[in-house]
């Protein structure tokens, strides 16, 4: 009997649900809140207004109370509660502002202290693994970021705080207004030291900082020799002043005085 060849049956590929990004999650929460306040006549209109129409059914389930955000739905499975993690984030941001940022290594003792206060002591060291720290960073991407800190001398750190800086700019504004000083007469000079021999660039430690932090300081004491670069600019950009270089030593080299005129 002749055998009849059957056409090959292709197996259907499993389509995994698309993960919701942190930005999309924030938009879904905002759309849910605004719909509950009756800012929109329909759920579809709320989704369209926030450009999350592809997540319409997710938004619909959230509005009807049939689903929760992932970070809330799985809170019981997490090592720390949402409130404990929020407190930990605030503590990390505070230390970063004081010039003492937390690294992946130094965050562990704080988490262990929280667990100990909750009465969790069994194998607690194993709980705070690299994967936990990675998931913690992912959950708080809108608030925290990892970066290398810039060196800040301890003496300068004592004066570098919100109260002192605000007081300085209030006094500065008062002097400018009382004396009618134009911006063309305002100059700013800054210096940048380069450590001879490479300094501490070889240390690859990164720390937690708040997203809005611009300076990202890490207090450290520098006792190495520096080559200093001095730069000066005018507030309105009209004066072109070249940079200056300060080298350590007692002898002068002839080639220092043969550079182009725009350098000092």
241 and 182 in one domain? Answer: yes
| Domain count within the chain | 3
Yes or no: say if 63 and 35 are a contact pair by the CB < 8 Å rule: yes
Q: How far apart are CA 183 and CA 172, in angstroms?
A: 13
* pLDDT tens readout for residues 122-164: 555 566 888 888 888 888 887 888 887 777 777 777 777 778 8
| Neighbouring-strand partners of residue 146 | 208
Task: Kindly state whether residues 69 and 116 are assigned to the same domain.
Answer: no
Residues 68 and 160 in one domain: no
What is the spatial distance between Cα 53 and Cα 176, in angstroms, rounded to a whole number?
Answer: 52
Average pLDDT (181-210) is 75
- Domain for residue 130, yes or no? yes
- As a whole number of angstroms, the distance between CA 264 and CA 257 comes to 8
- Are residues 104 and 166 both part of a single domain? no
Answer with the one of 127, 145, 163 that is the final residue of a domain. 145
Same domain, 110 and 43: no
The reply to whether 26 and 86 lie within a common domain is no
Same domain, 51 and 133: no
Task: Round the average pLDDT of the chain to a whole number and report it.
Answer: 79
What tokens were used for 148?
A: 């290398």
Residue 125, helix vs strand vs coil = helix
How far, in Å, CA of 126 to CA of 124, rounded?
Answer: 5
Which residues of 92-250 form beta strands (DSSP E)? 102-103, 144-147, 150-152, 187-195, 207-210, 217-219, 226-234, 244-246
The two three-digit tokens of residue 74, written as one number: 């799985």
Q: Is 262 helix (H, G, I), strand (E, B) or coil?
A: coil
* 57 & 115 share domain: no
* Residue finishing a domain among 114, 145, 176: 145
What is the span of the domain harbouring residue 216?
Answer: 150-258
User: Which is more confidently placed, 171 or 146?
Assistant: 171
The two most distant CA atoms of the chain are separated, in Å, by 110
Band of residue 180 on the pLDDT scale cut at 50, 70, 90:
very high
User: What number is the average pLDDT over the span 166-185?
Assistant: 90
User: CA–CA separation, 114 vs 56, rounded Å?
Assistant: 38
Is 198 inside any structural domain?
A: yes
- Looking at the structure, tell me whether residues 111 and 154 fall in a common domain: no
Same domain, 210 and 133: no
Strand, helix or coil for residue 25? helix
pTM: 0.50
What is the token pair recorded at 208? Answer: 């937690």
Verify that 156 and 214 share a domain, yes or no: yes
Which tokens in the block code for residue 154?
Answer: 């301890």
The whole-number pLDDT of residue 170 equals 92
User: Picking from 47-51, 70-74, 113-117, 236-240, which range would have the lowest pLDDT averaged per residue?
Assistant: 70-74
Sort 20 into a burial class: Cβ within 10 Å, 0-12 / 13-18 / 19+: middle
Question: Looking at the structure, do residues 246 and 176 belong to the same domain, yes or no?
Answer: yes
* End-to-end CA separation in angstroms for the chain: 100
């Amino acid at each position: 009997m002749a055998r009849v060849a059957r056409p090959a049956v292709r197996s259907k590929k499993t389509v995994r649900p698309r993960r919701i990004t942190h930005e999309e999650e924030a938009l879904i929460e905002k759309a849910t809140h605004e719909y509950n306040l009756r800012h929109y006549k329909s759920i579809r209109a709320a989704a369209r207004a926030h450009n999350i129409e592809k997540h319409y059914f997710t938004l619909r389930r959230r509005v009807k109370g049939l689903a929760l955000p992932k970070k809330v739905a799985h809170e019981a499975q997490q090592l720390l509660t949402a409130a404990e993690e929020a407190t930990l984030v605030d503590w990390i941001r505070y230390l970063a502002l004081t010039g003492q940022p937390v690294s992946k290594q130094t965050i562990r003792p704080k988490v262990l202290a929280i667990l100990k206060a909750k009465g969790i002591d069994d194998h607690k060291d194993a709980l705070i693994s690299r994967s936990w720290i990675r998931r913690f960073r992912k959950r708080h991407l809108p608030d925290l970021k990892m970066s290398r800190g810039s060196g800040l001398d301890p003496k300068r750190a004592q004066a570098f705080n919100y109260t002192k800086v605000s007081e300085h700019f209030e006094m500065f504004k008062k002097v400018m207004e009382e004396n009618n000083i134009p911006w063309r007469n305002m100059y700013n000079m800054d210096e940048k030291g380069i450590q001879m021999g490479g300094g501490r660039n070889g240390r690859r430690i990164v720390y937690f900082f708040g997203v809005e932090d611009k300076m990202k300081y890490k207090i450290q004491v520098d006792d190495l020799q520096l080559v200093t670069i001095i730069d000066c600019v005018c507030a309105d950009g009209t004066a072109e002043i070249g940079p200056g270089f300060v080298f350590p030593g007692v002898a002068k080299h002839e080639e220092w005085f043969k550079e182009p005129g725009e350098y000092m």
